[in-house]
């Protein structure tokens, strides 16, 4: 078994002491040991600031955009290596495409935006000169420039490539180096991509660093010129954002955490309309892509009371056809969760929902003794969503969604917003007025509204 090394202060380094293991999601085989104990986080930050930051700041926005494009092309040429590692995480080829080529596509997108819309300079005048006096002798203009610190990216396990690259692109375009701390469960894939970037020689020394294992005391060494981004569980994120040094120095902290996303069926839709079939396909796709391990996956299915049984029957029929197993086998449509710990967590959350009054329509129970971290597609039903707060607050991060009835369109909107702020919401309707009203009222609690 190999140890997964970190890339800090310009060198590959292995920690010492207690290790965590990364297991193959399908076979359960132990693949990697991971620890960062004993590594000097203060020195790693200082190296990034002294080497990477000045080099990136000296580049114009156009040069940084060109760097992003070059890195994207290089990673695309090596994608098959990443697909091979991604299979260890339980992902199908289609799942891995979203993570690997979707992430690389993000680099291309930011490269294009930078080359088209940003100046060939290190300063970005954001607007025109604003007169502040009658005679025009006093005026102001907003100008954007780079911070002198480092961006610390603490990432989730579900998108080890895309999750890193979507943060790296604006960080580098903004002229800052990054220290990446991937989730341990899939860190081998992130490490492979970072190694490819480092070996390419396409980015300045110190522009990218990687911590495989715990971030240790890194946050204690940050100051007001640094930034932190976090993607993961709400509990961990809340703990980190109140870390004493983060609070004392007002260090910018951006968090993306649990999200009870919904898919709403408009009250105008009947089972014989194409929108009904579209709704069923969308829910099943969102439940099963990456085995439901997506921040934007549908967790709450909100439908008119009269259509609960029709929707339930249609979903069960489609979900029963989903072949779960080793993605290397032909015909498999859904792979495993990332590891046994995640499978146990999903089972615990399902049990919480059942204890709160939800009912099982399909699935609901994993074989916790099996080597592979498989969890069956699971459809729950909540008959009283207004009296069941757990259904709007408990996210089972797997192929699990809960069906619930709405008395009318206004009630459906209230249920959609009961998630307390969601990354994504989807409405399926053929009525433009229903769509308009949903957007007007639901947008304030959703990061993205999709109308189908």
Cα 32 to Cα 5: distance, rounded to the nearest angstrom: 10
Please name every residue paired with 210 in a beta bridge, in sequence order, or none if there are none.
Answer: 7, 180
Residue in 161, 295, 358, 382 annotated catalytic: 295
Of 185, 260, 181, the closest CA to residue 228 belongs to 181
Please name every residue paired with 300 in a beta bridge, in sequence order, or none if there are none.
Answer: 262, 402
Token reading at 263: 């898919």
Cα 157 to Cα 22: distance, rounded to the nearest angstrom: 12
Pairing, β 124-125 against β 378-381: unpaired
For residues 164 and 178, the answer to whether their CB atoms sit within 8 Å is no
263 is catalytic: no
Contacts of 134 (CB under 8 A, 6+ apart): none
101 is catalytic: no
Cα→Cα distances 369→240, 325, 343, 362, 373, Å? 33, 16, 11, 20, 9
Cα 321 to Cα 202: distance, rounded to the nearest angstrom: 46
Residue in 101, 256, 282, 359 annotated catalytic: 256
Cα 232 to Cα 286: distance, rounded to the nearest angstrom: 19
Helices 93-117, 162-173: inter-axial angle, 10-degree rounding:
10
The pair phi, psi for residue 326, each rounded to 5°, is -70, 120
By annotation, the residues acting in catalysis are 256, 295
């Amino acid at each position: 078994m190999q140890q997964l090394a970190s890339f800090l202060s310009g060198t590959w380094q292995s920690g010492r002491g207690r290790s965590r293991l990364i297991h193959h999601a399908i076979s359960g085989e132990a693949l990697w040991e991971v620890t960062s104990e004993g590594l000097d986080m203060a020195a790693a930050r200082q190296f990034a600031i002294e080497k990477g930051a000045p080099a990136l700041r000296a580049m114009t926005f156009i040069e940084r955009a060109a760097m992003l494009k070059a890195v994207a092309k290089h990673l695309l040429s090596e994608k098959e290596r990443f697909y091979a590692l991604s299979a260890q995480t339980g992902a199908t080829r289609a799942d891995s495409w979203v993570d690997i080529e979707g992430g690389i596509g993000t680099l291309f997108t930011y490269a294009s935006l930078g080359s088209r819309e940003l100046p060939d300079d290190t300063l970005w005048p954001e607007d025109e000169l604003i007169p502040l006096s009658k005679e025009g002798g006093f005026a102001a203009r907003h100008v954007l420039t780079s911070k002198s610190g480092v961006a610390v990216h603490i990432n989730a396990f579900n998108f080890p490539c895309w999750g890193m690259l979507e943060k790296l692109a604006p960080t580098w375009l903004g002229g800052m180096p990054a220290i990446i701390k991937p989730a341990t469960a899939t860190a081998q894939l992130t490490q492979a991509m970072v190694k490819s970037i480092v070996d390419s020689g396409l980015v300045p020394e110190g522009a990218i660093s990687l911590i495989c294992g715990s971030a240790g005391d890194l946050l204690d060494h940050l100051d007001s010129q640094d930034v932190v981004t976090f993607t993961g569980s709400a509990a961990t994120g809340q703990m980190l954002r109140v870390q004493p040094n983060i609070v004392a120095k007002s260090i910018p902290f951006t968090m993306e955490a649990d999200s009870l996303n919904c898919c709403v069926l408009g009250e105008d839709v009947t089972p014989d309309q194409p929108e009904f079939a579209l709704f069923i396909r969308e829910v099943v796709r969102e439940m099963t892509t990456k085995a439901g391990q997506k921040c934007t996956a549908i967790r709450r299915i909100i439908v008119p009371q009269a259509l609960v049984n029709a929707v339930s029957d249609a979903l069960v029929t489609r979900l029963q056809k989903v072949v779960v197993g080793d993605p290397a086998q032909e015909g498999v449509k859904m792979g495993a969760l990332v590891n046994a710990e995640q499978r146990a967590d999903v089972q615990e959350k399902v049990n919480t929902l059942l204890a709160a009054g939800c009912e099982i329509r399909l699935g609901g129970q994993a074989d916790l003794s099996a080597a592979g971290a498989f969890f069956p597609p699971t459809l729950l039903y909540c008959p009283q969503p207004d009296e069941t707060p757990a259904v709007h607050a408990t996210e089972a991060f797997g192929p699990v969604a809960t069906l619930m009835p709405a008395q009318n369109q206004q009630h459906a909107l209230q249920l959609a917003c009961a998630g307390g702020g969601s990354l994504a919401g989807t409405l399926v309707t053929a009525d433009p007025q229903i769509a308009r009203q949903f957007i007007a009222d639901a947008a304030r609690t959703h990061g993205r509204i999709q109308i189908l």
